[in-house]
Structure 1
Amino acid sequence: MTARPQRPFATRQRLHAALLAVLSVACTGAPLVHATDVDPTADAVTLAAGYLNHHPDINFRMKALRDYNKGEYEDAIPRFQRAAFYADKPSQGMLGEMYWEGKGVAVDRAMAYAWMDLAAERGYAGFLNMRERYWSQMDETERARALEVGQALYAKYGDDAARPRIDAKLRFGRRSTTGSRTGFSANLTIQVPMPDGSMTTIQGAKFYDDKYWDPKEYFAWQDSIWEDPPIGRVDVGEVEAVREAPSAALPSRVPEVVPETDAAEPEVPEDE
């Protein structure tokens, strides 16, 4: 039987649903990649270990998702921006969707494209697809403005500026935890956030593994999850997992800029 062609609107809705599904796993308890019901921002052992303090990308993304799922979009935006400041591509993608949909901000399709272009900087298929769909729906005035505002975003949030920040946090975190007097026994279990927002349980002895602290290994771990994520589709109460062929890995349309490595952190609301 010949498959029906996918409508652009339906395809974008599926991509949007997939982005939220994967990112929201820690907040919703969805059964993805080693998910558990533990909230790492409230887990005593994880907090004592200092894991989240040294992984601001995941820490602020998860806090932003809690706000988002409660409909507190105006609080979610600065927290996604703080995560994005530390090279978190999923948070940059969420900011793109929020500007496109007008959640917590006025609809701004040029700014939405600029954020999604940042999210697609490493060639992750899901974000590339979203970026190209944005571009196809924008007029020439919006496209020109997207490339203009995109330069400011790349200067502050692009990998050339953001990766050194998270790299420094990871290295400092490893030195701080391994140099402390409170080591972790092999019998102790710790809840560690995965790059996709889900949780995994590890033994204390594994807490110092390179993939949690070495910048090169840490980003290879992220790449393994985000390079080709599943796309979720919801049809009349039934969830179906599908995969879409990724868009061609087109380079960014935004002109290259000088990275602002000394930019100030975005301010965030105080935790309740």
Structure 2
Amino acid sequence: MDRKHVLNAGWLLLAALCAPAAYAAPQQAKTPAMADEVMSTDAFLSGHPDLRFRNLAQEALRQDEPEEAFAYFKRAAWYADKPSQAMVAEMLWDGRGVEQDRPLAYAWMDLAAERGYEGFLVLRERYWKELDEASQKRAIEVGQEVYARYGDAAAEPRLATALRRERRRGTGSLTGFAGNVKVYVTGPGDVPMQIDGTHFYNDRYWDPVQYRQWQDEVWMKPRTGKVEVGGVETVEASRVPPTAPQSDAPEPEVPARETP
């Protein structure tokens, strides 16, 4: 497969993965699925900065504003969003919206594959094969800082704090009990929608542990239509040495039009 085809496959895969439909919850007994139109509302996204900043990045791409998109993807990555981390990698690899830096791009794709999500593992291995020996060495070096700032050990606690804070704010309870809470959101066509609090604040979307489990279900082997990037033949563990998270690292900058 030539380089152009690989890149096109990468962008097609990531576009499919980042689409709102990719976050439709798998059906499980006694667990109500959250409709895409609800998950895209301000009420839901205010407590899910990983999704909120990814949505803003996608909108910036649609508006042909790659520099802003890159900044938003990095902000979503700050909250452990793996598809956004993969998009940061692709944009660095192509030099789209940011100066091209392929060793750094590999470090970001390695980070996106941190949990073993198949699509990102495939792209990571393709990146590695494209790098010469000197670039591979630099990729491992710069990857340590990337992991320290954006790896799950550093990023998941940030997301957990946001989830818990917004859930408490919405339910008015330190325990997050939804009880008789009714959530009002704006649905398609600006039509007001009322959602039962036990549905909207289901643990699957607000409890950090269950939210991570749900993400794993969605991303481990995502359904992406007809997009094919090949299987994972021989996949090594991360080549980046373990590093301690930088808990006091500053947050990445975002465009002025949207601040948290």
Write the mapping of 1:43-122 to structure 2, written as runs, cut at 5 A: 46-47=41-42, 49=43, 51-122=44-115
Question: Match of 1:22, as an amino acid?
Answer: L
- How many positions carry a matched residue from both structures? 240
Instruction: Tell me the distance in 2 between the aligned counterparts of 1:216 and 1:31.
Output: 20
Write the mapping of 1:7-46 to structure 2, written as runs, cut at 5 A: 10-23=5-18, 25-26=19-20, 33=24, 46=41
Instruction: Tell me the distance in 2 between the aligned counterparts of 1:37 and 1:208.
Output: 15
Structure 1 position 225 matched with structure 2 position 211: no
Deviates more, 1:51-60 or 1:209-218: 51-60
Instruction: Tell me the distance in 1 between the aligned counterparts of 2:118 and 2:229.
Output: 10
Task: Quote the residue 1:264 is aligned against.
Answer: 250
Deviation of 1:158 after TM superposition, in Å, equals: 0.4
Instruction: Tell me the distance in 1 between the aligned counterparts of 2:98 and 2:156.
Output: 27
Instruction: Tell me the distance in 2 between the aligned counterparts of 1:149 and 1:103.
Output: 20
Can you give the 5+ residue segments of structure 2 that lack an aligned partner in the other structure? 26-33, 188-192
Tell me if structure 2 keeps the 8 A contact 1:18–1:231: yes
RMSD over aligned Cα atoms: 3.0
Q: Please give the secondary structure, in 2, of the residue aligned with 1:203.
A: strand
Q: Please give the secondary structure, in 2, of the residue aligned with 1:54.
A: coil
Question: Match of 2:196, as an amino acid?
Answer: G
Structure 1 position 251 matched with structure 2 position 219: no
2:162 is aligned, of 169, 173, 194, to 169
Please list the CA deviations of residues 42-65 of structure 1 after superposition, one character each: whole Å capped at 9, or x if unmatched: xxxx33x3x222211110011011
Task: Quote the residue 2:29 is aligned against.
Answer: none
Write the mapping of 1:192-203 to structure 2, written as runs, cut at 5 A: 203=195
Can you give the 5+ residue segments of structure 1 that lack an aligned partner in the other structure? 1-5, 192-200, 233-239
- TM-score under structure 1 normalisation? 0.78
Task: Quote the residue 1:204 is aligned against.
Answer: 196
Question: Match of 1:266, as an amino acid?
Answer: P
Structure 1 position 156 matched with structure 2 position 156: no
Instruction: Tell me the distance in 1 between the aligned counterparts of 2:216 and 2:101.
Output: 29
Runs of 4 or more, structure 1, over 2 Å off, are: 6-16, 30-41, 183-186, 188-191, 201-205, 240-250
Deviation of 1:229 after TM superposition, in Å, equals: 1.7
Please list the CA deviations of residues 192-218 of structure 1 after superposition, one character each: whole Å capped at 9, or x if unmatched: xxxxxxxxx993230111011100100
Please list the CA deviations of residues 222-245 of structure 1 after superposition, one character each: whole Å capped at 9, or x if unmatched: 11111012355xxxxxxx355742
Instruction: Tell me the distance in 2 between the aligned counterparts of 1:96 and 1:157.
Output: 13
Deviation of 1:141 after TM superposition, in Å, equals: 1.1
Tell me if structure 1 keeps the 8 A contact 2:182–2:194: no
Q: Please give the secondary structure, in 1, of the residue aligned with 2:249.
A: coil
- TM-score under structure 2 normalisation? 0.81
Instruction: Tell me the distance in 2 between the aligned counterparts of 1:13 and 1:110.
Output: 19
Deviates more, 1:79-88 or 1:240-249: 240-249
Deviation of 1:37 after TM superposition, in Å, equals: 8.6
Q: Please give the secondary structure, in 1, of the residue aligned with 2:182.
A: coil
Deviation of 1:69 after TM superposition, in Å, equals: 2.0
Instruction: Tell me the distance in 2 between the aligned counterparts of 1:126 and 1:211.
Output: 23
Tell me if structure 2 keeps the 8 A contact 1:230–1:241: no
1:143 is aligned, of 136, 139, 163, to 136
Q: Please give the secondary structure, in 1, of the residue aligned with 2:255.
A: coil
